[in-house]
């Protein structure tokens, strides 16, 4: 089932417009190419509407926002809404600064997001209007664990209902929810946190999965999360003596490049609640 979602990406080659941070942008582009999509980056306000117009989806990531790119996010988001395109928000560092929190909340007020993907601290910040975030990583006190899982699932569904967006909360356990159903996903490895940008890569890839699977959006978002986590497992299994996070980064993107529907279906570990 989830395997179809990646096959559809490879079949449809969705063009994804990314307004994303300059830290991990190269990896976002390469993972989009790896999964079968096609990336284009543009943040200049006078450029973004045209670019969004030729794409199927828009990935907004506030990781290194600035005044000009924030205006670009609003313009591109509105245009994508007009065109009925997929729009995803990755609220990097929401809770870590007023500008990030306010930008994410402001965007949510004006733009209908198909999906919002972040760590638990970022998503809680959006839900509560404030929060504590340790930089761009989740606060340990917020972490989704087996103990807090049931309440986290309820939280994710409720926030999905309130926002009308798919909510993807990633961490040791990943949640992908709409108002009614929540995928609880246990793919991935803790060492992925030692690479910059696996979250940003996932947001780019999830946008492509959503564009290519218009009739199964929740499944598509869950498939993207499973694919990223599974790539982390496959990549880790190939690690040799002396390899570290730089090599691991490459192996994860390589694993996406080589992933087909069968591999994803076999490796995806999830339950639906």
The residues binding a copy of itself (CB under 8 A) are 15, 21-27, 29-30, 33-34, 38-44, 46-47, 50-51, 54-55, 63-68, 93, 96-100, 134-137, 194-197, 234, 238, 242-247, 249-258
C-beta closer to a copy of itself: residue 148 or 250: 250
Name the residue nearer to a copy of itself (CB basis): 29 or 225: 29
Q: How far is the CB of 146 from a copy of itself (least distance, A)?
A: 24
**Smallest distance, Å, CB 153 to a copy of itself?**
28
Q: How far is the CB of 127 from a copy of itself (least distance, A)?
A: 20
- Helices 198-212 + 25-35 axis angle, to 10: 40
Task: Report the b/e string of 220-230 with b at 16+ CB within 10 A.
Answer: bbbbbbbbbbb
Smallest distance, Å, CB 64 to a copy of itself? 5
Comparing CB distances to a copy of itself, the nearer of 79 and 157 is 79
Q: Tokens 């733009």 correspond to what residue?
A: 111
Q: Which of 198, 185, 191 is nearest to 253 (CA)?
A: 198
User: Which lies closer to a copy of itself via its Cβ, residue 134 or residue 181?
Assistant: 134
What is the nearest approach in angstroms of a copy of itself to the Cβ of residue 132?
9
- For a copy of itself, the closer of residues 215 and 240 by Cβ is 240
Instruction: Answer for the pair 191, 245: CB distance below 8 angstroms, yes or no.
Output: yes
CA–CA distance, 18 with 39 (Å, rounded to integer): 7
CA atoms of 211 and 158, how far apart (whole Å): 24
Q: Are 199 and 119 in contact (CB under 8 A)?
A: yes
């Amino acid at each position: 089932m989830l395997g179809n979602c990646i096959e559809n990406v490879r079949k449809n080659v969705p063009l994804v417009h990314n307004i994303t941070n300059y830290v991990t942008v190269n990896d976002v582009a390469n993972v989009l190419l790896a999964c079968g999509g096609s990336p284009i980056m543009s943040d200049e306000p006078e450029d973004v509407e045209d670019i969004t117009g030729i794409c199927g989806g828009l990935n907004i990531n506030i990781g290194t926002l600035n005044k000009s790119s924030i205006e670009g996010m609003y313009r591109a988001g509105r245009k994508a809404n007009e065109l009925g395109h997929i729009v995803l928000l990755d609220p990097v560092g929401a809770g870590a600064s007023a500008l990030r929190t306010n930008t994410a909340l402001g965007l949510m007020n004006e733009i209908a997001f198909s999906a919002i993907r972040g760590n638990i601290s970022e998503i809680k910040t959006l839900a509560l209007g404030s929060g504590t975030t340790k930089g761009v990583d989740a606060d340990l006190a917020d972490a989704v664990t087996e103990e807090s899982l049931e309440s986290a699932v309820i939280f994710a569904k409720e926030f999905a209902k309130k926002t009308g967006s798919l909510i993807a909360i990633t961490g040791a356990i990943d949640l992908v929810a709409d108002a009614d159903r929540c995928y609880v996903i246990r793919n991935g490895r803790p060492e992925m946190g030692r690479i910059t940008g696996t979250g940003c890569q996932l947001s780019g890839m999830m946008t492509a999965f959503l564009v290519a699977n218009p009739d199964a959006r929740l499944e598509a978002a869950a498939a993207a999360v499973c694919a990223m986590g599974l790539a982390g497992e496959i990549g880790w299994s190939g690690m040799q003596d002396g390899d570290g996070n730089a090599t691991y980064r490459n192996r994860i993107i390589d694993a996406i490049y080589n992933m087909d529907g069968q591999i994803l279906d076999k490796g995806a570990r999830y339950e639906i609640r």
